[in-house]
Amino acid sequence: MIELNYRNVSAEKVGRENGLELDAVFGEYREKISEIVTRIYAEKDRDGGWKRWLNLGYDKALADSLNQYAHSVKGQFSDMVVLGIGGSSLGGYALLRALLHPYWNQLSDEKRNGLPRFYFVENVDTDQIAPLFEMLDPQRTLFVVISKSGTTAETMSAFMIAKEWLEKNLDAAEVKKHIVAITDAKKGVLRPVADREGYQTFEVPDDVGGRFSVFCAVGLLPAALCGISVAEMQQGIQDLDKALQNPDLSKNPAAQGALIQYLLYERGKPISVFMPYSYRLASVSDWYVQLWAESLGKKHDLNGDVIHVGPTPVRAVGVTDQHSQVQLFNEGPHDKVFTFVAVGKPERDLTIPANQFSEVEDLNYLNGKPMSQLMNAEFESTRASLTSNQRPNLTITLPQVDAYHFAQLLYLLEVQTAIAGELFGIDPFDQPGVELAKKYTYALMGRKGYEELIPVARGEKSEARV
Amino acid sequence: MIELNYRNVSAEKVGRENGLELDAVFGEYREKISEIVTRIYAEKDRDGGWKRWLNLGYDKALADSLNQYAHSVKGQFSDMVVLGIGGSSLGGYALLRALLHPYWNQLSDEKRNGLPRFYFVENVDTDQIAPLFEMLDPQRTLFVVISKSGTTAETMSAFMIAKEWLEKNLDAAEVKKHIVAITDAKKGVLRPVADREGYQTFEVPDDVGGRFSVFCAVGLLPAALCGISVAEMQQGIQDLDKALQNPDLSKNPAAQGALIQYLLYERGKPISVFMPYSYRLASVSDWYVQLWAESLGKKHDLNGDVIHVGPTPVRAVGVTDQHSQVQLFNEGPHDKVFTFVAVGKPERDLTIPANQFSEVEDLNYLNGKPMSQLMNAEFESTRASLTSNQRPNLTITLPQVDAYHFAQLLYLLEVQTAIAGELFGIDPFDQPGVELAKKYTYALMGRKGYEELIPVARGEKSEARV
């Protein structure tokens, strides 16, 4: 089971100025946390409560339908292109990066066991998209288009290009077999298109927001299509969920993480660094950055008062960033809290040969050691040096990187975010701060009714608000 | 030529509380900036001044030797593995990601024009390294090992594994042809090994630190081996350098950027977001994060006083992060300054088809438009919304992403960092904050003389300092 270790946020470890008197604050917040956890889980089936993602790990029908479709198309497609952005891409990408071969797309069809290569189009940069389409064989390419509303400009413009490309290259009756749509069950503009054209579809369930959608078809269909076990992920979530539902702060790692992050933010640490010591988990950071930033970065509290609140998540990767950001982390301002993700053991290991540079005394300490020992030593050393420098830090440990524990990691962070939202007193499930730019984009793209905004969108006029 | 636009940091645009009275502060700092720029460039040849990187753009002999070697091995290698970490990998990787096909490693030998695929080993995670080695053909693989001192644990342990792998798979006389070492000309432990074994070598010049080394062989050899023009990069640097050497603040974009970043940091904005609107430039963010964080994040000022200073760089990518971090950027605390990198025009463009969903009114504004227009509209809109929300921001514009302008972008940021170091009153060329963790690593790896540190490195004892 995944574990959280928070001893290095204690005043005992990092000093009173930078740490927490854990017994005292846990006592102080015990009741409030109990209320919050109870309330969050009580809302998991409520309409409009935006907490239905809490049910996804138990949805066996979802797993069955994904597996059935994945099984039905196995071997048909050499390449899968996911068209999605933000919550519609970050989770699926993190999942494939963590659980497939690190150079999956370069493996032969045989080594991929007939499963598809994958690409994520999560930008509208033609310097990515045009060369990508030239590489693909339309006969052997599957597009997974993901948009709950069907109005996401980036995703839908890429989808229009993809659909036209398929139509130019395939018989009319074949096109629909190369498209899967993941969208709202009833609402939105992609649903009627998908139904009319006869695409395979999966739902983004009601009251599941983009950044909490990794465990519905949005994240799990790409996984299932690449042969990753949905059942193992669901089992991981179910086994962990017992602890996360527990209203007792002393036994609930999501509540502990949320409370510690909240208190350290309030005490002058606005930056939250997320640093997995794992090549495979590097892209989990990008998923987490969206989850934490978009959920907690808010202008208004629940009473409508202006508070401009929100920790800034920062991504780092161990050991790589020891030679990049760690200088700042150790010596810069005391404005950060750190979350390490450690892995018990790698799937593979290598031995550093003993006889290569035996004359070089400065390297002898490496000789004959497993490389995993170096990885672990560097993690422990960086953590110890940050602790010595009074930088509070948490460690989440996965026994290994597999579907079961990967799902636990993401689910832990989702529940932690929901609890943190309650502590910050904001709505973690909305994102009003991106609407203004969308209107400006409509104006600059010539959409009717937005003409007045053109000068402001161009920066020629500077009215603060429209 | 690359350009810097800073109008959106002005009080006029983002309000007095969050912006700068530019005329006033430029007047106030004119003389100081003039001194700083003059002093920095005066030190470009001084021993121990750590500013020799200012000369790299003029080193025609370097360009010739790189091209000569690249030419001599052209067609011999299908795969290039760069073994390096931090400053020895981030620049080269950013360069190849920006200037090669976005899916280069998947192209056929013919489409790559016989140039090698590339991999960067910048971690000690065996879940990356073991699968990588299994994919490679030893007959057709070149290793580029980069370490100035030859004692970098991560790089040298990977190199020992690589060398043993070559020796197991090739005739003894062949091994050396598959290794290039980039290291100190005389000092360190890799130099004597390379000379004894007969490797092709290139130098990390004296007084060029890792994070300022992209324009010596460290960044340029991988580029030359993949067919990128070193001459165009050097020409870009030379053409820009005229402006950067100018002590007149009103004409020097590096000085303007440094001063604005410094002043906004001092006025309560500790976070510096770097957000290229370009898929190809996404990895420049990682290079910049090291440059900014490791150079400016310092405990001591030049007088030895404890100041714990340093802005925290944050990476973002447009348009992707509009669906991730931009909510926080628009609505969260007023603790950030933003640097956008815009691209005048993509190399390729695509038209969004006009006839796909003509019945869907919500999408009609996209019909028939070039996708590059959407990219630009989204950039301008996000910038305008941040400005409306009183978030100061700078824009660096590249007319296009090519070797010439890419080099200008990195060189501008290097000079900006050097000037910022002077303004912050710290040494931007050292990194004392990573030494403690290195000692702990030695202890945990069993290196002689470090036994006493084992309990502290394991976190069992908590002495603040050793």
- Residue A449's Cβ-count burial label (10 Å; 0-12, 13-18, 19+) is exposed
Mutate to test the interface with A, among B127, B212, B306 (most CBs of A within 10 A): B127
Measured between beta carbons, the chain B residues lying within 8 angstroms of A382 are 437
Question: Pick the residue with more confidence: B465 or B215?
Answer: B215
Using CB atoms, pick whichever of A270, A444, A464 lies closest to residue B377: A444
Q: What is the pLDDT of residues A266-294, one digit of tens each?
A: 999 999 999 999 999 999 999 999 999 99
What are the start-end ranges of the H helices in A122-200? 126-135, 153-169, 172-175, 190-197
Mean pLDDT of B47-61: 96
Q: Is residue B88 part of a domain?
A: yes
Q: B257 and B395 share a domain?
A: yes
Catalytic annotation, pick one of B438, B451, B452, B461? B438
Residue A24 is part of which domain span? 3-42+233-424
Under 8 Å between Cβ of B149 and B169: no
> By three-state DSSP, how is residue A420 classified?
helix
Angle between helix axes A126-135 and B371-388 (nearest 10 degrees) is 150
The predicted pLDDT at position A435 comes to: 87
Q: B135 and B177 share a domain?
A: yes
**Res A374 pLDDT > 80:** yes
Q: Is residue B249 part of a domain?
A: yes
CA distances B443 to A373, A378, B399, Å, are 12, 10, 51
Measured between beta carbons, the chain A residues lying within 8 angstroms of B323 are 85-87, 154, 210, 290, 434
Pairing of strands B3-5, B79-83: unpaired
Q: Is residue A47 part of a domain?
A: no
Using CB atoms, pick whichever of B123, B160, B445 lies closest to residue A373: B445
Q: Is residue A133 part of a domain?
A: yes
Q: Give phi and psi for A169, each to the nearest 5.
A: -110, -10
Counting the structural domains of chain A, the total is 3
Using CB atoms, pick whichever of B293, B330, B350 lies closest to residue A325: B293
Tell me which residue of A42, A410, A40 sits closest to A218, measured CA to CA. A410
Q: B276 and B420 share a domain?
A: yes
Q: What is the DSSP letter of A451?
A: G
The arrangement of strands across the sheet holding A179-183 comes to: A117-121, A79-83, A141-146, A179-183, A200-203
Kindly report the nearest CA distance between residue A346 and chain B, in angstroms. Answer: 6
Mean pLDDT of A129-135: 98
Under 8 Å between Cβ of B94 and B286: yes
Q: What is the pLDDT of residues A307-342, one digit of tens each?
A: 999 999 999 999 999 999 999 999 999 999 999 999
> By three-state DSSP, how is residue A118 classified?
strand
The pLDDT-based confidence of B461 (bands split at 50, 70, 90) is confident
Kindly report the nearest CA distance between residue B76 and chain A, in angstroms. Answer: 20
Q: B199 and B268 share a domain?
A: no
Close Cβ partners of A196 (under 8 Å, ≥ 6 residues apart): none
Kindly report the nearest CA distance between residue B214 and chain A, in angstroms. Answer: 14
**Contact between chains at B310 and A325 (C-beta distance less than 8 A):** no
Q: A244 and A221 share a domain?
A: no
The pLDDT-based confidence of B464 (bands split at 50, 70, 90) is very low
End-to-end CA distance of chain B: 50
Q: A63 and A140 share a domain?
A: yes
Measured between beta carbons, the chain B residues lying within 8 angstroms of A360 are 150, 189, 193
Q: Is residue B431 part of a domain?
A: no
Mean pLDDT of B356-370: 93
* Residue ending a domain, choose from B197, B228, B259: B228
**Contact between chains at B446 and A153 (C-beta distance less than 8 A):** no
Q: A415 and A291 share a domain?
A: yes
Q: What is the pLDDT of residues B279-300, one digit of tens each?
A: 999 999 999 999 999 999 999 9
Give the angle subtended at the CA of B26 by the CAs of B20 and B28, to the nearest 5°. Answer: 105
Q: Is residue A26 part of a domain?
A: yes
**Contact between chains at B128 and A102 (C-beta distance less than 8 A):** yes
Active site residue B438: yes
**Res A137 pLDDT > 60:** yes
Chain mean pLDDT for chain B = 96
The pLDDT-based confidence of B404 (bands split at 50, 70, 90) is very high
**Contact between chains at B371 and A456 (C-beta distance less than 8 A):** no
The predicted pLDDT at position A465 comes to: 40
Q: Is residue B196 part of a domain?
A: yes
Q: B190 and B280 share a domain?
A: no
Q: A264 and A329 share a domain?
A: yes
A103 to chain B, any CB pair closer than 8 A? The answer is yes
Kindly report the nearest CA distance between residue A111 and chain B, in angstroms. Answer: 11
Q: B74 and B89 share a domain?
A: yes
Active site residue B435: no
Mean pLDDT of A107-123: 97
**Whole-angstrom Cα Rg for chain B:** 24
- Residue B393's Cβ-count burial label (10 Å; 0-12, 13-18, 19+) is buried
Tokens of A136: 């693909």
* Residue ending a domain, choose from A211, A228, A245: A228
Tell me which residue of B254, B253, B257 sits closest to B392, measured CA to CA. B257
Q: How many Å apart are CA B366 and CA A157, to the nearest integer?
A: 7
Q: Which residue of B has its CA nearest to A465?
A: B388
Tokens of B328: 């926080």
A421 to chain B, any CB pair closer than 8 A? The answer is no
Q: A404 and A438 share a domain?
A: no
Q: DSSP states of B369-398 as a string?
A: -BHHHHHHHHHHHHHHHHHHTT--EEEEEE
Residues 276-335 (A) with a CB less than 8 A from some CB of B: 278-280, 286, 289-290, 293-294, 296-299, 308-310, 312, 314-315, 317-320, 322-335
**Res A12 pLDDT > 60:** yes
Residues 371-400 (A) with a CB less than 8 A from some CB of B: 371-378, 380-385, 387-390
Q: Is residue B285 part of a domain?
A: yes
**Contact between chains at B131 and A446 (C-beta distance less than 8 A):** no
A366 to chain B, any CB pair closer than 8 A? The answer is yes
Active site residue B294: yes
Q: How many Å apart are CA B285 and CA B274, to the nearest integer?
A: 6
Q: What is the DSSP letter of B20?
A: B
Close Cβ partners of B274 (under 8 Å, ≥ 6 residues apart): B284, B285, B288, B289, B292, B313, B314, B315, B316, B339, B341
**Contact between chains at B8 and A459 (C-beta distance less than 8 A):** yes
Using CB atoms, pick whichever of B189, B329, B363 lies closest to residue A363: B189
Mutate to test the interface with A, among B160, B284, B286 (most CBs of A within 10 A): B160
Under 8 Å between Cβ of B240 and B307: no
pTM tops 0.80: yes
Residues 1-30 (B) with a CB less than 8 A from some CB of A: 7-8, 12-13
Catalytic annotation, pick one of B122, B154, B294, B422? B294
Give the angle subtended at the CA of B79 by the CAs of B74 and B80, to the nearest 5°. Answer: 85
Size of interface A-B (CB pairs under 8 A): 457
Mean pLDDT of A22-33: 98
Q: What is the pLDDT of residues A383-413, one digit of tens each?
A: 999 999 999 999 999 999 999 999 999 999 9
Mutate to test the interface with A, among B13, B269, B312, B450 (most CBs of A within 10 A): B312
Measured between beta carbons, the chain B residues lying within 8 angstroms of A364 are 447
Under 8 Å between Cβ of A445 and A439: no
**Contact between chains at A312 and B314 (C-beta distance less than 8 A):** yes
Tell me which residue of B122, B180, B100, B332 sits closest to A311, measured CA to CA. B332
Kindly report the nearest CA distance between residue A46 and chain B, in angstroms. Answer: 26
- Residue A134's Cβ-count burial label (10 Å; 0-12, 13-18, 19+) is exposed
**Contact between chains at A384 and B441 (C-beta distance less than 8 A):** no
Residues 156-185 (B) with a CB less than 8 A from some CB of A: 156-157, 160-161, 163-164
Q: How many Å apart are CA B127 and CA A82, to the nearest integer?
A: 25
* Residue ending a domain, choose from A228, A258, A280: A228
Q: What is the CATH number of the domain that holds A137?
A: 3.40.50.10490
**Res B433 pLDDT > 60:** yes
Q: How many Å apart are CA B270 and CA A249, to the nearest integer?
A: 33
Q: How many Å apart are CA A200 and CA A146, to the nearest integer?
A: 12
Q: What is the pLDDT of residues B11-24, one digit of tens each?
A: 999 999 999 999 99
Q: What is the pLDDT of residues A185-244, one digit of tens each?
A: 999 999 999 999 999 999 999 999 999 999 999 999 999 999 999 999 999 999 999 999
Length of chain A: 466
Residues of A taking part in catalysis: 294, 323, 438
Kindly report the nearest CA distance between residue A280 and chain B, in angstroms. Answer: 7
Tokens of A17: 């100025």
The pLDDT-based confidence of B269 (bands split at 50, 70, 90) is very high
Neighbouring-strand partners of residue B3? B397
> By three-state DSSP, how is residue A364 classified?
helix
CB atoms within 10 A of CB B359: 11
Q: Which residue of B has its CA nearest to A429?
A: B327
Q: What is the pLDDT of residues B67-119, one digit of tens each?
A: 999 999 999 999 999 999 999 999 999 999 999 999 999 999 999 999 999 99
**Contact between chains at B332 and A124 (C-beta distance less than 8 A):** no
Q: How many Å apart are CA B398 and CA B1, to the nearest integer?
A: 7
Q: DSSP states of B154-205 as a string?
A: HHHHHHHHHHHHHHHHS-HHHHGGGEEEEE-SSSSSHHHHHHHHT-EEEE--
Q: B100 and B204 share a domain?
A: yes
**Contact between chains at B331 and A308 (C-beta distance less than 8 A):** yes
Sign of CA dihedral A174, A177, A178, A182: positive
The pLDDT-based confidence of A94 (bands split at 50, 70, 90) is very high
Give the angle subtended at the CA of B365 by the CAs of B362 and B366, to the nearest 5°. Answer: 105
Tokens of B228: 């990128």
Mean pLDDT of A151-177: 97
